[in-house]
Chains A and B, each alone.
Chain A
Amino acid sequence: MRPGRLRENYIGFQTIVIKEVGRVLRIWIQTLVPPAITMTLYFIIFGSLIGSRVGQLGGFSYMAYIAPGLIMMSVITSSYTNVVSSFFGAKFGRHIEELLVSPLPNYMIVLGYVAGGVVRGLLVGILVTVIALFFTRLHMVHPFVTLSVVILTAVVFSLGGLINAVFAKKFDDVTIIPTFVLTPLTYLGGVFYSINMLPVVWQHIARANPILYMVNAFRYGILGVSDIGIGTAYVIILFFIIGLFSFSLYLLHNGVGLRS
């Protein structure tokens, strides 16, 4: 590689991140406020009204038990939505060509968009955490696990959003995966319950849902309790990151959905 190329690539990456984060902050009413409102309603309805009748779960109040899951749910949705809408918007408006004609390597384009998705996911996550603190007490039992799991999960779903955007041909295609795949998997991913409450057969089925591992690993980081092994969660998350990142590079290299 030519000397200086690494520095130029880093500047290119930095430029994408500046653009993406600038976009998130510029349209904060669309990017940050809606998940905050939605999660506040979840806390009121599920945590306060219904949760008070559920009693304790895993040694914690129901409100405290679902808080990590709700934070993770907002991170997943926000990071995914950010990349899918931004990348598809760039494709639809054809300004993705600004990047495609530039010498910036594909892996830097992927990393730039993923970083934008992670930043939005974390901003929303912090916002929802602050809201959660109005309803319950949260102690971070394992800070490293909490932070690493939330960041890695945001990376997974940012990559997912990018792949969705590459294949999307119209705006409807951008909403299909979040509506029909992401939301059901999140709801069934142990956000509102422990899988130990399910019949044995359903427990096995639930273990096929990758979001279960992410939610539980995050819950372990905050509350110290989990339905699954933390090591398994890391392996699954890293497996998805490597798989989705490689697939993203393959798509960009071959110009799928981007080049004729």
Chain B
Amino acid sequence: MPHSVTACYAWRSVKVAIFPQPAMQALSLHALTKTYKNGVQALKGISLEVQPGEFIALLGPNGAGKTTAIGIVTSLVNKTGGQVTVFGHDIDTDIEAAKSCIGLVPQEINFNQFEQVGDIVVNQGGFYGLPRRLARERAEKYLRQLSLWDKRHDMSRMLSGGMKRRLMIARALVHEPQLLILDEPTAGVDIEVRRSMWDFLKKINREGITIILTTHYLEEAENLCQRVAIIDHGEIIVQGRTRDLLEKLHSEVFILNLREPLRELRPLDGYAITQVDDTTLEVEVNKSQNVNTLFDMLSKNNIQVLSMRNKVNRLEELFVRLVKGKG
């Protein structure tokens, strides 16, 4: 029985009758390799599958190969080997259809600094084949959603850093791609802007856009992404559901802020505890241990806890352990 899928066309959705086939991935990387002319092997055969509607993070230290992988998918970098398909379109044989499905927010600012904000978004729509009128409507829609509509006549170079990032998101969305790839979109923006961008990305992901995110802010990945893939030295060293990966952590370190200064800290059975200063303690809690027991023991020692927080972001801890090979 044939069924229908929606193909990635910039200005209209077309139902195409096709015969049954295995579930189509939003993105599939198979044995992807890249060796630069200077001999640097940036990717050593990575494989990754992203399901439609997923929100996935690519994590890795600088030079791990994240941007190279994204560059290959978006055809800014030529691959050395392997296969890439985007919603079933192979980039070797059907590059134009594959590109139609993707919206890219690159790491570096890459719009014309001497163009007006509105023109940048409208023109990008034109490059994807959107008729001018529709491109203007879409530009208004996304510039409004990203609070840039008032700036549409401004020269793009006059925007603040956060606004420039949002402009690149609006530009990437103008053709309403099914797959949005963001390469460190919140690098260098303040907390307020970052939070508003998170809300926006969550919203469009709920609306059905598949999102791939690279970031150095691991808190960002933990908050936003259902899945995480960690790349190091051109290889994916771990991938899986964020929750499952965090389960792998054997312990967490908590910082406890005390109500009153503590003169002397007595050892607590089974817990590694250190006093940072008069009113701050640092406690390592194993997965087999219980935080309630810890609080009971602290109460028995007349220590009142005012507040508690993780010492480091949990994902960051996992990331550091994996990258350092301590996983």
Binding site for B on A (CB under 8 A): 2, 4-5, 7-9, 11-12, 14-16, 18-19, 90, 93-95, 97-105, 254-255, 259-260
Contact = CB atoms under 8 A, between A and B. Distances in A.
A241 B78 CA distance: 28
B247 interface: no
Interface stretch (B110-118, B196-204, B280-288, B294-302): B110-118
Interface stretch (B68-76, B225-233, B251-259, B261-269): B68-76
Given A8-B10, A9-B129, A103 B96 contact: yes
Contacts of B111: 95, 98
A103 to B, nearest CB: 4
Interface stretch (B25-33, B45-53, B119-127, B235-243): B119-127
Chain A binding site: helix, strand, loop or mixed by DSSP? helix
A107 B307 CA distance: 63
Given A93-B112, A95-B111, A103 B128 contact: yes
Given A8-B10, A90-B112, A103 B36 contact: no
B99 A97 contact: no
Chain B interface bracket (under 10, 10 to 19, 20 to 34, 35 or more):
35 or more
B224 interface: no
B74 A101 contact: yes
For the residues of B in contact with A, the DSSP-based class is loop
A8 B106 contact: no
28 contacts: A2-B7, A2-B97, A4-B9, A5-B96, A5-B129, A8-B10, A8-B11, A11-B126, A12-B128, A15-B123, A15-B127, A16-B127, A90-B112, A93-B110, A94-B109, A95-B110, A95-B112, A99-B127, A100-B76, A101-B74, A101-B102, A102-B127, A103-B10, A103-B95, A103-B96, A104-B127, A104-B129, A254-B78
B75 A259 contact: yes
Interface in B95-109: 95-97, 99-100, 102, 104, 106, 108-109
A100 B10 CA distance: 16
B77 interface: yes
Interface of B: 7, 9-12, 36, 71, 74-78, 95-97, 99-100, 102, 104, 106, 108-113, 123-124, 126-132, 171
Nearest to B74: A101
Nearest to B95: A103
A183 to B, nearest CB: 28
